[in-house]
Structure 1
Amino acid sequence: MSAILRLAWQSLANRKTTALLTLLTVAISVTLLLGVERVRTQAKASFANTISGTDLIVGSRSGQVNLLLYSVFRIGNATNNIDWQSYQEISQHRAVKWAIPISLGDSHRGFRVIGTDQTYFEHYQYGNKQPLSLSKGRPFSNLFETVLGAEVAKKLNYQLDDDIVIAHGISDKAFNRHDNLPFKIVGILAPTGTPVDRSVHVSLAAIEAIHVGWESGARLGNTPDAINFANHQFEPQQITAAILGLQSKIQTFALQRYINTYKKEPLSAIMPGIALHELWGMMSVAEQALLVVSVFVVVSGLLGMLTSLLTSLNERRREMAILRAMGARPGHIFFLLVSEATVLTTVGIVIGTVLLFCILLVLQPLIQQQFGLYIAITALTSHELSLLGLIQIAGILVGSIPAVRAYRHSLADGMTIRI
């Protein structure tokens, strides 16, 4: 058997150009399959880990996906706001352990501005109940101070003590900037791989202050500067959403029913886990489409190998006949060709896997920066190993097709003169 394996390797070396092209085809298909699978699983994990340790998210009456999108992913806008008195009443409910108010509506150079308070830095969690941490500085404490997400600071090259100007609304134009009230950067959060990295955080009081003199999104006359607000106490009138942590998980459904039937204004309370599952279900079509495309690429790679083996078999008719004439049995011929396909598939899988890790080393920071998706460079998972095992088995089966043909006709076919 070892002699046949050695012969298979020497045969492939003799046809190195064809073998290398076949290897490249298999390797690229393996790289694409593993890459798509890793992006799919990491995206799903990152998606599910965007918010953690939260029992309920409260917002104005709307669908749970819409509420999740604007409160957690900072996508879109709320249909309405929550009255501050309603928020205070809900946050002081006996079932609530902590509450984080969130106010949206402004932006800075394409990044969303989040109005909140100190509870955000104390209780907001992501991943496996990981708390937020600061890589530099401290949380805001004064009126016109801000804490930036990691991506905002990196992309705009901001440092501590730099001043930034917030714009009214999503678009950042000269006419809608609050340029009379700049904010000083006092903290930069450590990367989280979540929308927190792409957010600018200020106090709720600051959100109220910068909108003094504004009405319906327009500046009406002169607006005060920071000196005028030095000793002024601002209390929010409304917020966009609230994130709640409860004393006990058992109280979740009772509090959710209480909020959904709140009499003072129409509100919705959603459980983030269920909303995330629904949102991911809406995206599952694209997820499955990616997987199907990558599977077809692998199939095309294996068909390319089959074509190569069948073509080379036609050129090796006399080689097979000589081997038979020298005493090789039909089973030896069969095993020789299957061994060639096995070697090609195995080496292609190894090269494709190494190529995947090389690509990840280069593209990982770019993917995280551009799309906020962190793809971990870890050992192959059991699922990925099973996929590679299926490719190996498929390669052996593909190699058996020309092997069966050679098994049946090697001697007579090789000795026949074709005109």
Structure 2
Amino acid sequence: MNILQIAWKNIRKNPAASILGILLTAFGTGILCVLLVASKQIEQQLTSNSQGIDLVVGAKGSPIQLMLSSIYHIDNPTGNISYREARALAANRLVKLAVPLSLGDNYQGHRIIGTDSSFLQLYDLELEKGRLWQSDFETVVGAAVARNYHLQLGDQLYGAHGLSKEGSTHGHPYTIVGILQSAKNVADQLVLTNLASVWHTHEDAHGDSGDEDPENEPEHAPAAGQGLPDNQPPHLVKNMLEGFGSGGREITSLLIQYSNPSAIAILPRLVNQSTSMQAASPALESARLFSLLGIGIDSIEVLAYVIMVMAALSVFISLYSALKRRKYDLAIMRTLGASQGKLFGIVIAEGILLTFTGALVGLVIGHLAFFLISIRTDDAATLLQASTLYPQEIWLLATGVLIGLLAAALPAIKAYNTSISKTLSGTQ
């Protein structure tokens, strides 16, 4: 019988203490696993969803709230901004691309976004089926929305007022004319339509005809390409100015790409100091957000390590107590030819088996817990993949082995130093 078999039989002889050691190790490892996977995926989502967006412009308020509502779609907007100001900003030479967003409604918790065709370009989106909207109340839905609710081309959906599914339903339906390919980002969770559809929906709800006073129009509306870089493609100019019509209209925000590096220093200051709007940098605000999340993650991580230490103490006490009960067995094994090294190895193997098993169970618990979290947040913007494995998880298993090794070290040394004569004579 080899060392591992003997060690496993010894573990089974003391089930209560063994299970306690395994569970403590599992809980500690499980918490660390959840934190690891969550931090990795949140960081990936923060990066992928804001990639290509240099600036978010919206109503004054919290910059983080503006970023969360306009890029990640997990918070309420800070308010609305004038379309006239948005148009003027879009025509600035420092702006390469300006994507308008108009929020306010949802479908089953998925946000309905009024925008234009440049949104697809910004996120590098492709249509899996159908086409882009061509008239009011036509919509293109994200891959996750279509999958979750079994939506097909030609189906109709009704938007609910507000950003939660409990809002009152609007009377005018949207017709699905396109379904996006899965992009593994926030776009999978959205319902896209043109700006006019969002405006008309709320005008109907409030009894507003939407007619604008011509006197409110800008004195000189910028023509396509006016005030833009010379190398600006004509279709981008059209997208940036598409629907930028009535001065009384409002949108929620603009997602902006810079035309050149000098815009980094100039454009945010220009918006914040010279307009009624505010500018937020996704890179800066994401870093701030992740640092705030890091404080909570660090605190929970400390708790996990405390549990791991308790697991080590539990394994140590279990092995030390078992060693006292089995000292005669060890002495007899020595008389039958077992070496000191073999006794040492048996105790070390017990400690490692206990904590390695606990760490393995902990990884399963961690991913199962993360799966349950992902189900509860399925309608949110952040896409959580519980099945994703990371190389760093190997270190969690290695930590479990190390804890078992340290916990078993002293009992193993005592087993190594077992005196046959003193033990059998009862003097040790």
TM range (shorter): 0.7 to 0.9
Which residue of 2 is the match for residue 230 of structure 1? none
Aligned residues: percent identity?
27
Question: 1:57 is paired with a residue of what secondary structure?
Answer: strand
Which residue of 2 is the match for residue 374 of structure 1? 384
CA distance in 2, matches of 1:349, 1:67: 41
Which residue of 2 is the match for residue 238 of structure 1? 250
Q: Is the 8 A contact 1:357 1:377 kept in 2?
A: no
Structure 1 residue 400 displacement after superposition? 0.7
Which residue of 2 is the match for residue 183 of structure 1? 174
CA distance in 2, matches of 1:253, 1:193: 31
Structure 1 residue 59 displacement after superposition? 1.0
**Given the alignment of the two structures, is residue 305 of structure 1 paired with residue 324 of structure 2, yes or no?**
no
Which residue of 2 is the match for residue 37 of structure 1? 36
CA distance in 2, matches of 1:301, 1:370: 37
Let me know the Cα RMSD of the aligned residues.
3.5
| Residues 414 and 239 of structure 1: CA distance in aligned 2, closer, same or farther (over 3 Å) | same
Which residue of 2 is the match for residue 61 of structure 1? 60
Map 1:18-417 → 2, pairs under 5 A: 18=14, 21=19, 24-25=22-23, 26=25, 29-123=28-122, 125=123, 131-170=124-163, 176-179=168-171, 181-215=172-206, 219=207, 235=245, 237-262=249-274, 265-325=275-335, 333-346=343-356, 348-349=358-359, 355=364, 359=368, 366=375, 369=378, 372-375=382-385, 377=387, 380-381=390-391, 383-408=392-417, 410-411=419-420, 414-415=423-424, 417=426
Question: 2:328 is paired with a residue of what secondary structure?
Answer: helix
| Residues 416 and 190 of structure 1: CA distance in aligned 2, closer, same or farther (over 3 Å) | farther
Q: Is the 8 A contact 1:317 1:410 kept in 2?
A: no
CA distance in 2, matches of 1:350, 1:80: 48
CA distance in 2, matches of 1:273, 1:287: 20
Structure 1 residue 272 displacement after superposition? 0.4
Q: Is the 8 A contact 2:30 2:365 kept in 1?
A: yes
Question: 1:188 is paired with a residue of what secondary structure?
Answer: strand
CA distance in 2, matches of 1:234, 1:332: 81
Q: Is the 8 A contact 2:371 2:385 kept in 1?
A: no
Question: 2:49 is paired with a residue of what secondary structure?
Answer: coil
AA of the residue aligned to 1:120: F
CA distance in 2, matches of 1:151, 1:338: 50
AA of the residue aligned to 1:304: S
Question: 1:53 is paired with a residue of what secondary structure?
Answer: coil
CA distance in 1, matches of 2:205, 2:63: 31
Question: 1:208 is paired with a residue of what secondary structure?
Answer: helix
Q: Is the 8 A contact 2:55 2:282 kept in 1?
A: yes
CA distance in 2, matches of 1:276, 1:270: 10
CA distance in 2, matches of 1:208, 1:324: 87
Which residue of 2 is the match for residue 226 of structure 1? none
Q: Is the 8 A contact 1:151 1:369 kept in 2?
A: no
> In the comparison of the two structures, how many residue pairs are matched?
390
- CA deviations over 1:87-124 (Å, ceiling 9, x no partner): 1111111121111001112233333221111111122x
AA of the residue aligned to 1:9: Q
Q: Which runs of 5+ in 1 are unaligned?
A: 126-130, 224-232
Structure 1 residue 359 displacement after superposition? 4.3
Higher normalized contact order (CA 8 Å, seq sep 6+, divided by chain length): 2
| Residues 195 and 413 of structure 1: CA distance in aligned 2, closer, same or farther (over 3 Å) | farther
- CA deviations over 1:356-386 (Å, ceiling 9, x no partner): 69849976974773654332645542x3333
CA distance in 2, matches of 1:29, 1:77: 36
CA distance in 2, matches of 1:63, 1:368: 24
Structure 1 residue 351 displacement after superposition? 5.9
Deviates more, 1:142-151 or 1:332-341: 332-341
| Residues 380 and 121 of structure 1: CA distance in aligned 2, closer, same or farther (over 3 Å) | closer
Which residue of 2 is the match for residue 228 of structure 1? none
| Residues 117 and 391 of structure 1: CA distance in aligned 2, closer, same or farther (over 3 Å) | same
Normalised by the size of structure 1, how large is the TM-score?
0.80
Residue among 4, 9, 13 paired with 1:13: 9
Question: 1:160 is paired with a residue of what secondary structure?
Answer: coil
AA of the residue aligned to 1:294: A
Structure 1 residue 207 displacement after superposition? 1.8
Q: Is the 8 A contact 2:186 2:383 kept in 1?
A: no
Normalised by the size of structure 2, how large is the TM-score?
0.78
Deviates more, 1:317-326 or 1:18-27: 18-27
CA distance in 2, matches of 1:182, 1:274: 39
Structure 1 residue 293 displacement after superposition? 3.2
